[in-house]
């Protein structure tokens, strides 16, 4: 007759959340990412309320209606950016869990410690990021062309900026 093994507490009480083992080297980054994720989640609730507010079109002054519409569009824009940030944070947390955090996804080389401290969800080393941006595979946020509403940018101004 075989001896019976003793049941563990989790087997008796049921699954529960699995214990996530984090490499101590990345614990500070993991904790920071979890905090960032929570902050974005908290902010999302307030922005959702702003975007959902019912507009009283018949009783508002035209300027008030324009301001309300701008606020709603701005809230939706921030929510979209936050969703992208949430995706990147979740991906970084997963890389910490599976042991690939801190390695450039292009070169496989370690990402600079200073870069990880500044951008803990980054996927690429500074050199790889620069190469992606220069090749056009990943674009940085750009501001509009120089100029103003009254006086648009002259073509020679934009050509000089591109050449620099």
pLDDT digits 0-9 by tens, 31-62 = 999 998 888 887 776 666 665 666 555 546 66
Closest CA to 25 of 88, 118, 113, 108: 113
Q: How many domains does the chain have?
A: 2
Domain end: 48, 80, 100, which one? 100
Residue with tokens 């507010």: 53
- Count CB-CB contacts under 10 A for residue 42: 9
17 domain-assigned = no
pLDDT value, residue 113 = 93
Q: Does 89 share its domain with 132?
A: no
Does 52 fall in a domain? yes
What is the per-residue pLDDT across 56-110, written as a single tens digit (0 to 9) for each? 555 466 666 667 677 777 766 777 777 888 899 999 999 999 999 999 999 999 9
Average pLDDT, the chain: 75
122 shares a domain with 76: no
Q: Are residues 40 and 82 in the same domain?
A: yes
pLDDT at 70: 74
Same-domain check for residues 94 and 27 = yes
Residue 144 pLDDT level (bands cut at 50, 70, 90) = very low
- Residue span of the structural domain in which 54 resides: 22-100
> Against a cut of 0.95, is the pTM above it?
no
Q: Which residues contact 122 (CB under 8 A, 6 or more apart)?
A: 92, 111, 115, 116, 129
Q: Are 110 and 103 within 8 A, CB to CB? A: yes
DSSP string, 69-120: HHHHHHHHHHHHHHHHHHHHHHHHHHHHHHT-TTB-TTT-SBPPHHHHHH-T
Domain boundary among 83, 100, 117: 100
């Amino acid at each position: 007759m075989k001896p019976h093994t003793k049941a563990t507490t989790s087997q008796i009480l049921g699954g529960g959340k699995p214990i996530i083992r984090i490499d101590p080297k990345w614990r500070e980054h993991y904790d920071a990412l979890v905090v960032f994720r929570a902050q974005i989640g908290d902010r999302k609730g307030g922005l959702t309320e702003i975007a959902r507010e019912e507009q009283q079109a018949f009783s508002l002054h035209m300027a008030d209606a324009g301001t309300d519409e701008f606020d709603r569009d701005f809230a939706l824009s921030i929510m979209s950016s936050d969703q992208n940030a949430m995706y990147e944070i979740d991906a970084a947390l997963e890389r910490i869990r599976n042991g690939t955090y801190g390695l450039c996804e292009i070169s496989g080389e370690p990402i600079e410690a200073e870069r990880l401290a500044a951008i803990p969800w980054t996927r690429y080393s500074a050199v790889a990021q620069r190469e992606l941006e220069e090749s056009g595979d990943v674009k940085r946020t750009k501001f509009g062309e120089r100029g103003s509403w009254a006086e648009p940018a002259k073509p020679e101004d934009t050509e000089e900026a591109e050449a620099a």
